[in-house]
Amino acid sequence: MTQTARLGLRERKKQRTRQAIIDVAAHLFAEQGYTATTLAEIADAADISLSTFFNYFSSKNNIVFGLMDAVIDSARDRILGRPDHETASQALLAWVAEDLVAVERPYTEALRAFPKIIASDTALQSEERLRYAELEDILATAFARDLDQLPDSLHARVMATIALRGMVDVWNAWYDQHWSDRDFDPADAIALKADYLSRALDAGLNAITSLPSTAP
């Protein structure tokens, strides 16, 4: 077996352990409450030692946002790392349609549980807003490159807000209707996100051309 293959095997094992931790934590948080659940209980349910647990997560809130952090990393790699000939809109749509399912699919049950867990805890809600801000920064940087502007420019921020809030609002609307479905499948929400963005991004790009200049 080659070194590359051995590394691949180790990475797959680490991913399975990480997924197990998130799955059992989601179950425990939903069953007995986020605050009441201890790290020791999560490690025990995942059949690992507490010291091994800390190789993957430093706290409970890192478990809750482990998937969201993976989504942010995936967006950064795909959208900011896009080739020069690809626009930010094209890269974003490709990321949603082609990459996001693979990132989220292993965590289907966690995706079902975590929105309600986050809604039950004000500290988690604050953490979620920080993650959304990080993703919005990535999107603003991507659009700024196309617009030949700074990431904090009005036009870049408007486009990033349209993209982020569009994805979040589509997810929230879909989740409210389907969270209790027996065949809960977040891939359905991803398809709706892609459809919405394909229309909203074009509308946004047209709209920012009509914004008044901020120059004195």
What is the reported pLDDT for 1?
Answer: 41
What is the reported pLDDT for 4?
Answer: 40
Are 138 and 80 contacting, i.e. CB atoms less than 8 angstroms apart? yes
What is the reported pLDDT for 13?
Answer: 85
What is the per-residue burial (b if ≥16 Cβ within 10 Å, else e) of 5-41? eeeeeeeeeeeebbbbbbbbbbbbbbeeebeebebee
208: Cβ–Cβ under 8 A, 6 or more apart, which residues? 154, 155, 158, 159
Rounded to whole angstroms, how far apart are CA atoms 103 and 90? Answer: 19
Rounded to whole angstroms, how far apart are CA atoms 109 and 111? Answer: 5
pLDDT along the chain (216 residues), means of 10: 53 88 95 95 95 94 94 97 97 96 92 95 96 98 97 97 98 96 94 96 94 84
Number of helical H runs and strand E runs in the chain: 11, 0
Domains and CATH numbers, the chain: 1-60 (1.10.10.60), 65-208 (1.10.357.10)
What is the reported pLDDT for 66?
Answer: 92
What is the reported pLDDT for 7?
Answer: 53
What is the reported pLDDT for 145?
Answer: 97
What is the reported pLDDT for 128?
Answer: 97
Please tell me whether residue 215 adopts helix, strand or coil conformation. Answer: coil
